[in-house]
Amino acid sequence: MELTFDLSMGISASDMIRTKWAYYLSLFEAAISSPRNRHARLLMLDEPRQQETDRRSLAAFVKRLERAAGSGCQVIYATSEDRRDLEEVLYNVEVAMLPANGSHLLAPVTG
């Protein structure tokens, strides 16, 4: 008997995002803790708070990312969230913020 489960059909959208966070972070942590590590020690996340994921969950995730960064890794977290909301999540988390001007990070070259 084969058991199958379609993850995307069985859980909510915000639970799916948290599942992806756990998957990516666990792979990252396993790779950097391996003695035969060949990982670039870089993790990039684009809009991790999709589907209006609970802020407490995001804050816990960011704290875990900070721990990974503290072990000599670089974590790049790109978001379009409102700065005030983001500062709540980043309270007591050591970060270097590089805000972008305008509504998009990339813009067409004119001229």
Query: Could you list the residue range(s) of the whole structural domain that residue 73 is in?
Result: 12-89
Please check whether residue 85 lies inside any domain of the structure: yes
| Within-domain flag for 109 | no
Instruction: Kindly state the DSSP code that residue 38 receives in the 8-state scheme.
Output: -
User: What confidence tens digit (pLDDT) does each residue in 47-87 have?
Assistant: 777 667 788 888 888 898 898 888 888 888 888 788 888 88
Summary mean pLDDT of the chain: 80
Residue 75 CB-density burial (10 A; 0-12 exposed, 13-18 middle, 19+ buried):
buried
**Domain membership flag for residue 63:** yes
Tokens 């870089």 locate to 42
CA–CA separation, 18 vs 57, rounded Å? Answer: 8
Number of domains in the chain: 1
User: What CATH number is attached to the domain comprising 56?
Assistant: 3.40.50.300
Q: State CA 91 to chain mean position distance.
A: 16
Condensed to tens digits (0 to 9), the pLDDT of residues 3-40 reads: 565 666 677 777 888 888 888 888 888 888 888 877 78
